[in-house]
Chain A
């Protein structure tokens, strides 16, 4: 009785020391943490931020032809697109491209469905604000030049 009691204590202590050995070994290895904001982790190439419009290289206007593929592909109905033909142009251009980022699930189906590769993911991850307003109607046309006279509207 006493014998097995003492044996249990010794094997128990032994098991705790074996675990402690692993901990001590790790103490002398290099850490894996990145101390944000002094350091930042590298974003992978395929990082999916909110979507943004790709400008045409020569004109600077959005490549988007306002066909509505992305609107139909979106499972959360968070994209609104309206388009019109600028004077003298063959294809439509967006007059409104609004994203409701509060609903977006970042699935990427809109980017995949685009026939002219006019949408891409931004690399902006620090999206913080005191209210949801800046994200419930993000005007993506702000970042590209407009073919319509009188600003982006």
Chain B
């Protein structure tokens, strides 16, 4: 009974036209799906006829949980949604509550926020780089990426206290100040990362096998992008220069000079190049922040118990995977009345069925990898 509710049963019977069709279950425990994503593939030999993602294996009722917590208590839960870019989620939530209550954030705190978020973005892209190439059968780039990522995690651990599920930002400020040692080590990391990035291109981008696996595979045409609500590198790989940091600027992004990398091809290679270019842009941003970080307070005066005035607000930020929007309604009490998350991975996954149609099974894994999905974020 329950099985029929979660899985579209019509795929479990072979279709009448083609007797040779068979059903292949990809996941929910397949390493290529990076989490508990299940895809029901309707195959004709090696070719995919239809691909239906089945969601909900990691559903934790994050929105309902938020309705039973105080505004401050929701913050640790934010990191559990997208564990690879926890600071972006932190930022969305604190900015939303600050917007509702009208708190002013000291400039130093804003600089620290963007500095750590951009470091987090690099670490997320590095993990994606390793995992994507692991999907394609290359093991060495994974080790290269994780060596650099390890330095980054150590760096973030020294100021936030955790390596992955950060709970670092506070309403009206940040949890801890950065010291000269941290800034110096960040500069060292920048130099090291800049020295290693050309190696990444040498190792992977020009590789003949990689080119064959990614060029003209999983093409998203520009007119498809808006209908599916795509965002982030998946959208920018198809020639659309949409970035929340530029279109709806928040925090100190208007003061920073950075480009929005765009590729016109729309295939897996395009999305790959966009992400690597984004690492470079983030490094440039961190450079500017290190040069301009002001002195001063890191925490504005806010009441101990947060009670936003009655009303509603929404806040969008650019996570490494795309546009995250949080919408919240307050009824004037210390507990949110309603919280809604609009997550990038969910929208990005929606185009997968269309992209996978008619492709080889091995290419479907390349496409899944190039979308950079985080399943707990989709299921939340």
Seen from chain A, the residues whose Cβ lies within 8 Å of a Cβ on chain B are: 11-12, 15-16, 18-19, 21-23, 26, 32, 44-48, 73-75, 105-109, 112, 121
Encode B178-222 as 1/0 by CB contact (under 8 A) with A. Answer: 000000000000000000000100111011110100000000000
Could you list 19 further interchain pairs (A-B, Cβ under 8 angstroms) beyond the known A18-B202, A44-B161? A11-B208, A15-B207, A18-B206, A21-B202, A22-B202, A26-B144, A44-B157, A44-B158, A46-B157, A46-B159, A46-B176, A47-B161, A75-B69, A75-B73, A75-B74, A106-B162, A107-B76, A108-B175, A109-B76
B63 at the interface (CB under 8 A from A): no
What are 9 A-B residue pairs whose CB atoms fall within 8 Å in the complex? A11-B208, A15-B208, A22-B144, A26-B144, A46-B157, A46-B159, A75-B69, A108-B167, A109-B73
B126-179, CB < 8 A from A = 140, 144, 147, 150, 154, 157-162, 165, 167, 175-176
Contact of B72 among A45, A105, A109 (CB under 8 A): A109
B327 at the interface (CB under 8 A from A): no
Contacts of A74 in B (CB 8 A): 73
- Report the number of A-B residue pairs with Cβ-Cβ less than 8 Å: 68
**Nearest opposing residue in chain B for A115, CB measure:** B304
- Count the B residues whose beta carbon is within 8 Å of the partner chain — how many? 32
**Nearest opposing residue in chain A for B155, CB measure:** A44
**Nearest opposing residue in chain B for A121, CB measure:** B161
Contacts of B103 in A (CB 8 A): none
Q: Which of A74, A105, A121 has the most CB of B within 10 A?
A: A105
Contacts of A45 in B (CB 8 A): 158
B355 at the interface (CB under 8 A from A): no
**Known interface pairs A19-B202, A75-B76; A32-B207 also in contact (CB < 8 Å):** no
Nearest Cβ distance between residue B151 and chain A, in whole angstroms?
8
Contacts of A48 in B (CB 8 A): 161-162
**Known interface pairs A11-B208, A19-B203; A107-B167 also in contact (CB < 8 Å):** yes
Contact status A108-B161, CB under 8 Å: yes
Contacts of B159 in A (CB 8 A): 46
Tell me the bound Cα distance from A19 to B203 in angstroms: 4
Tell me the bound Cα distance from A75 to B140 in angstroms: 41
Tell me the bound Cα distance from A18 to B160 in angstroms: 39
> Which 5 A-B pairs have CB atoms at the shortest separation, nearest pair first?
A107-B76, A12-B208, A75-B73, A46-B161, A107-B167
Tell me the bound Cα distance from A108 to B73 in angstroms: 11
**Nearest opposing residue in chain A for B166, CB measure:** A107
B346 at the interface (CB under 8 A from A): no
Contacts of A18 in B (CB 8 A): 202-203, 206
B77 at the interface (CB under 8 A from A): yes
Tell me the bound Cα distance from A59 to B197 in angstroms: 56
Tell me the bound Cα distance from A107 to B150 in angstroms: 21
Encode B58-100 as 1/0 by CB contact (under 8 A) with A. Answer: 0000000000010011111100100000000000000000000
Contact status B77-A75, CB under 8 Å: yes
Tell me the bound Cα distance from A18 to B207 in angstroms: 8
Contacts of B80 in A (CB 8 A): 105
Contacts of B154 in A (CB 8 A): 44
Contact status B202-A16, CB under 8 Å: no
Contacts of A108 in B (CB 8 A): 161, 167, 175
Contact of A105 among B76, B147, B161 (CB under 8 A): B76
Contact status B199-A22, CB under 8 Å: yes
Contacts of B199 in A (CB 8 A): 22
**Nearest opposing residue in chain A for B212, CB measure:** A12
Tell me the bound Cα distance from A136 to B229 in angstroms: 44
Contact status A16-B73, CB under 8 Å: no
Contact of B207 among A16, A106, A107, A112 (CB under 8 A): A16
Contacts of B207 in A (CB 8 A): 15-16, 19
Nearest Cβ distance between residue B73 and chain A, in whole angstroms?
4
Nearest Cβ distance between residue A136 and chain B, in whole angstroms?
20
Contacts of B72 in A (CB 8 A): 73, 109
Contact status B150-A32, CB under 8 Å: yes
Q: Which of A19, A21, A73, A106 has the most CB of B within 10 A?
A: A19
Tell me the bound Cα distance from A63 to B91 in angstroms: 34
Contact status A46-B73, CB under 8 Å: no
Contact status B76-A23, CB under 8 Å: no
Contact status A16-B208, CB under 8 Å: yes
**Nearest opposing residue in chain A for B165, CB measure:** A105
**Nearest opposing residue in chain A for B167, CB measure:** A107
Q: Which of A26, A32, A44, A73 has the most CB of B within 10 A?
A: A44
**Nearest opposing residue in chain A for B74, CB measure:** A75
Tell me the bound Cα distance from A19 to B207 in angstroms: 7
